[in-house]
Amino acid sequence: MKNVILTLISLLFISSCGGSEARIDAILKLDAKDENGKSIYEANCSRCHGSDGSGTSLGPGIKSENDEEEIIEVTIEGEGSMPAFDHLSDQEIADLTKYSKSL
């Protein structure tokens, strides 16, 4: 019985990691609009990363971060003291990522 529970727990763990990968893939396929991304960035990210992406005392500069997959992953999962933004919709994250890359 204990083994069954352990197996179930590890399956849940594996599928939750896989879920994020699948979500990243889905977001990468969307048609992103950076003009929509600007307001999402201003509302959620600029207080730590600065409106021009050059960073503040709360977060590092992200101007040189141009790897879409990395931006999406950090946005969904958070990193260190950066909170997760998994409540944003896939389309919002796609638009936001395109805008972040343009900084």
Question: Residues in the site for ligand HEC, rule: CB under 6 A?
Answer: 44-45, 47-49, 58-60, 62, 65, 71, 74-75, 79-83, 85, 96, 100
Q: Tell me which amino acid residue 40 is.
A: I
Per DSSP, what are the bridge partners of residue 82? 79
Q: Which is nearer to ligand HEC, 29 or 58 (CB)?
A: 58
Residue nearest to ligand HEC (CB): 80
Shortest spacing between CB 5 and ligand HEC, in angstroms: 34
Shortest spacing between CB 12 and ligand HEC, in angstroms: 26
Q: Which is nearer to ligand HEC, 33 or 47 (CB)?
A: 47
**C-beta neighbour count of 26 within 10 angstroms:** 13
Report the Cα 16 to chain-centroid distance in Å.
15
Shortest spacing between CB 6 and ligand HEC, in angstroms: 31
Helices 2-29 and 68-77 meet at what angle, rounded to 10?
130
Query: What's the rounded Cα separation, in Å, for the pair 92 and 12?
Result: 27
